[in-house]
Amino acid sequence: MAELGRQGGRKNRRWKSDGAVPTCRSLKCMGGVGKSLPARFVRCDQVGDVESKMAEQKEAQKKIAWIKSPGGVIEVYANTSHILWSLDDVRIRLGQLIDSPATPNAGPDFSVAAEERVAVTFTWRNAALLRNQLSALIEAYEKVNGPIKIDVTLAPAPF
């Protein structure tokens, strides 16, 4: 039954057959068949080529020359961040924790506020590249210095 719906079934063939049984050959032996595949398909013999092209692209990214801006670079210290995003890009607002104007003096009611220092917007592609670079950097740092503590508690005021 299953063969009746396929073009290969003898009763359902749409071409004339001389009755000869076709010989089975592997695609490797069929030479030009793989070459006629669309560009989105990668043939087995091309895997090495694709990997080497990816390595070349990665190497080309490393070779980008950084040139100092004539106007200089704005140096910013930040110890807090807030991330926003859209379909097209990612925006990171960087700030510095400061004393809140409502509670400027230390004590049990003291609270902090984040003062915005700078905002950076970039594409999702750049976000992924930044993630990869930061992950590699953090892994290398932790290999030497141990795990970075994220959930730390501020010591109470000694007075």
pLDDT tens string 67-96: 888 999 889 999 999 999 999 999 999 999
Residue 98 CB burial class (10 angstroms; 0-12, 13-18, ≥19): exposed
What are the structure tokens assigned to 130, written together? Answer: 């930044």
Total structural domains in the chain? 1
Question: Domain for residue 88, yes or no?
Answer: yes
pLDDT of residue 21: 52
Question: Domain for residue 61, yes or no?
Answer: no
Q: Where are the beta strands (DSSP E) in the chain?
A: 80-85, 89-99, 112-123
Question: Domain for residue 130, yes or no?
Answer: yes
The one-character DSSP state at 27 is G
pTM of the complete model:
0.54
Q: Do 117 and 95 meet the contact criterion of CB atoms below 8 Å apart? A: yes
Structural domain span for residue 120: 80-145
